[in-house]
Amino acid sequence: MTETSIKKRCYISLTKPASNTLAGYTALTWTKIGGVVTIGQIGFNHATIEAPDLETGITQTLKGARSGTGGQIAFRQIAADTGQTAVSTANEGETEVAIQVVDPDGTTSDYWTGIIHSLVDNEASTTSYEGSTFTFVPNYARVRGASDIT
């Protein structure tokens, strides 16, 4: 059965895990980012390597190194929200952080380690809300496993 994204939640830890494993992530302290509106696509893009073959005249495409793809996360402003404050702190810092995206069923999460940058406030208009958007770029492979949030 197809699920919607309703009830999906996002958490932040200003400390990266000691290891990129489920155990490393579950040892962290998590803070919920309140008022999340959207969680963009987070993942990796691969470079390609072209390997020509003189005999066949065919150039094969090989998978090269990969780099994190920045996903934007938007939230509506909630006064004194500790998760939003943590995002702001991470945006100003130069260190890696961890995020946890909890599935709607609450039992499974995606764990990522990377950087937060480009925290910007929403446009002020008659059709917008007070809030912000930031970009999260992973530097390590996703770990998917049991949710650490009860």
Q: What is the pLDDT of residue 149?
A: 85
pLDDT in tens, 3-28: 799 999 999 999 999 999 999 999 99
Q: What is the pLDDT of residue 2?
A: 56
This prediction has a pTM of: 0.91
Q: Which residues of the chain have pLDDT under 70?
A: 1-2, 150
Q: Return left, alpha or beta for 27; rule: phi > 0 is left, psi -120 to 50 is alpha, else beta.
A: alpha
- Check residue 148 and give its pLDDT: 85
CA distance 62 to 2: 33
pLDDT attached to residue 3: 78
pLDDT at position 1 is 45
Q: 97 — alpha (psi -120 to 50), left (phi > 0) or beta?
A: beta
